[in-house]
Structure 1
Amino acid sequence: MAPVAVQARAPAKIILIGEHAALQGCPVFATTLGLYCTVQVRERDDDQIEIQLPELQIHRQYSTGALLDYVREVRQRWVCFRNDPQTHTFIGVRGNDVDHLVKCAVGEVLLKLALEDIRGCTLRVQSSIPLDAGFGSSAALAVSLSAALLRLFKLSPQRHPLQPLAMRVERYQHGLPSGIDHNTCLLGGMVERRREAGNRFKMISWPESTVHLQLHGIEIYHTGAARESTGHVIAATRHQLEGRDNPLLASMHNCAERFRTLLQSRSPAPETLKALVHDYEAALECLGVVPKAVVQVIRAIEAAGGAAKICGAGALSGDQAGALLVVDAPALPELAHYRRIDAPLAVGGLEVQVQ
């Protein structure tokens, strides 16, 4: 028999170097962060899917048939977006439903079941990961919820691997993600995504000792949720990094390769790290994804001898851009307006328990 209940949890993540450029095939580096999305799923004896999202004050119920129809429609809209990746076509994929990602994950798993095996379940999601802020809230949810549902319905990991399922669900949230987010949440630690021959990509796990050696002393802040979704920001800006010999993309690629060289060093190099963070932040500002209010805080950090960059897609408008990575900055009044994230880096990845 299938397990009666399953609990799964996955950590947050932040991108260290490589956001946006990763979508053009450049290397990207990310690490997990000790904030978690925890999902509990339990069998029901009917065909209803009960969704509980207490942080969002959401408690809804759908039939399995309704969620199958929902995800089939989203699949078709995503294909339209893939063929014409514009802001308006992405809006058709993402929609406005608060529980959109949850419905997509459930629907995708239901599609894998034989008709006679389809049944309902109750699921509850609790998360300490900030939303719309570059901390990987959707990736952690896609990984943990997909893993829990696969285990609940006793689907073989050989025939139904988790990684491509989580990637599909992430596409419904972000459009054309690089894959670094959900792979980092899944694998844990620090992860590099690098292109190999034949336009294939490899995920490389870096040892925890490297993180502690080269990233010792960095601080993470939350500037507030971005006004636009990650997918919206990417759809609106990706054209700026397209084309051969693109100077902005070349600058970002160079930073990523320099970061890799830093990680290979056996001695800490804080000044090198600050220079890399400064240079990549400058590129992100050229891309137009760092609001003026956040830029002003970063200039204050630099004037005090430190460096900082946003982590993730950023924002097109407003005063907030999500995650902010800070290196070697004293206590500044400008930073006091932001929430400091007191959580360890490079924590373990997905955990699943049958209850």
Structure 2
Amino acid sequence: MTATTIQARAPGKIILMGEHALLHGCPAIATSLGLYCDVQVRPRNDQYIELQLPGLDHHRCYTLATLLDYPSREAQLRIPGFTLTGKIDADYLVKCAIGVILRKLTPNQWRGFSVRVESTIPIHCGFGSSGALAVSLAAALLRFFDLQPRQHPLESVAMSIERYQHGQPSGIDHNTSLLGSTVERRPMADGNFKLIAWPKSAAWLQLRDVQLYDTGAARETTGQVITATRQRLEGPDNALLKRMRHTAERFRALLQRPVLMPSTLKHLLKEYEAALESLGVVPRNIAKLIRVIEKAGGAAKICGAGALSGDQAGALLVIGAPALPELSRYRRIEAPLAVDGLQIREDAHDQRLSPEKLCAYPVD
């Protein structure tokens, strides 16, 4: 067990294409985003756990027993489909994550510590805030308690934390934060999936002029959106799912082309956006905005679960559009794509962990 301060940083992400369909055996491609969740864990001289979340103006101390039992109690707040009900604590996911780690310890390993979490990733907007938190906080705590990757692979621990946020996550969010660059989640014949970590330079040519906007947090959680729309993509000959799979496969091939093809990129973005609108996850006002972008010669699609109601749908990817007054009302995300994944810092020494040691899934 280390007596030093541990710092971990993980980036956000956006799903470029494949959202929703990836839960039905289709490929999906995501890329890391240069917005970060930073976690610091340092020892205390007592048996309390201190949580500092300055972005939420939240600072509290808890007993070990309280957080050890917290994940079990919070699981009772979920209905089938893992949709959160009732009022959720501001530090809900942080406490769940700590509880997950404490359960891996023997009582003689328990000790007090302080956790500080600072994030520049918009929450509930499809930018991977919970995945980045799961990866960075789990990494810091596993290192703090000297839990070995062989017995406690970080990817698996982060996945278990993500379940408290999304219920049945696809895994692409936290794996993209963990691995960095561009990550493909590809189905395999046995029903499982593998992760393909693309070289950092891959996909950059086609996406070099992409703009990202934050249209605001959706009214519904990702779990609520998925639960409400899942049946629309089920069935052996589901026409909408076939469209989404076909477009995603063509998009994958395009990203690997060495020649810039903006017209093809726009066409594929329009195709997948139309499918998402048919699925019912693009609010009317956002769809109207996208029509304005298309009329001006560009293309756009939401990135992530989207929303069932309201005027906000999280991340919006735009390409080939001029400066439009309709876009000026939204915050533009000025952050690079395909950045490095998780970084851990201990005693002023940077340490990068290899994907093979951290992931429970095959990585190519």
Aligned to 1:336: 328
Q: Is the 8 A contact 1:191 1:206 kept in 2?
A: yes
Deviation at 1:73, TM superposition (A): 3.0
Deviation at 1:200, TM superposition (A): 1.8
1:254 to 246, 258, 268: 246
Q: Does residue 24 in structure 1 map to residue 17 in structure 2?
A: no
For 1:155 and 1:176, the matched residues in 2 are separated by 25
Aligned to 1:15: 15
1:313 to 277, 297, 305: 305
Aligned to 2:346: 354
**How far does the alpha carbon of each residue in 1:134-192 deviate from its partner, in whole angstroms, 9 at most, with x for none?**
00000000000000000001111111110011011111101111000000000000000
Aligned to 1:90: 83
Q: Is the 8 A contact 2:298 2:319 kept in 1?
A: yes
Q: For residue 190 of structure 2, give the secondary structure of its aligned residue in structure 1.
A: helix
Aligned to 2:223: 231
TM-score by length of 1: 0.95
For 1:190 and 1:19, the matched residues in 2 are separated by 15
For 1:73 and 1:162, the matched residues in 2 are separated by 24
**How far does the alpha carbon of each residue in 1:45-102 deviate from its partner, in whole angstroms, 9 at most, with x for none?**
2221111111111112111111111112345677xx5xx42xxx5225x861221110
For 2:225 and 2:91, the matched residues in 1 are separated by 20
For 1:55 and 1:171, the matched residues in 2 are separated by 23
Amino acid at match of 1:97: D
Deviation at 1:208, TM superposition (A): 2.1
Report how many aligned residue pairs link the two structures.
347
Q: Does residue 50 in structure 1 map to residue 50 in structure 2?
A: yes
Q: Does residue 169 in structure 1 map to residue 161 in structure 2?
A: yes
Aligned to 1:138: 130
Deviation at 1:307, TM superposition (A): 0.3
Q: For residue 344 of structure 1, give the secondary structure of its aligned residue in structure 2.
A: coil
TM-score by length of 2: 0.92
Q: Is the 8 A contact 1:3 1:354 kept in 2?
A: no
Q: Does residue 159 in structure 1 map to residue 126 in structure 2?
A: no
Structure (1 or 2) with the greater helix fraction: 1
Amino acid at match of 1:213: L
Q: Which runs of 5+ in 2 are unaligned?
A: 348-364
Amino acid at match of 1:271: S
Change in CA separation of 1:225 and 1:30 when aligned onto 2, cut-off 3 Å: same
Q: Which runs of 5+ in 1 are unaligned?
A: none
For 2:61 and 2:257, the matched residues in 1 are separated by 53
For 2:87 and 2:230, the matched residues in 1 are separated by 20
For 1:190 and 1:50, the matched residues in 2 are separated by 35
Q: Is the 8 A contact 2:203 2:256 kept in 1?
A: no
Q: Is the 8 A contact 2:124 2:217 kept in 1?
A: yes
Amino acid at match of 2:84: I
Aligned to 1:243: 235
Q: Is the 8 A contact 2:77 2:84 kept in 1?
A: no
Q: Does residue 193 in structure 1 map to residue 190 in structure 2?
A: no
Amino acid at match of 2:7: Q
Q: Is the 8 A contact 1:291 1:320 kept in 2?
A: yes
Q: For residue 83 of structure 2, give the secondary structure of its aligned residue in structure 1.
A: helix
Which consecutive aligned stretches of 4+ in structure 1 deviate over 6 angstroms post-superposition?
A: none
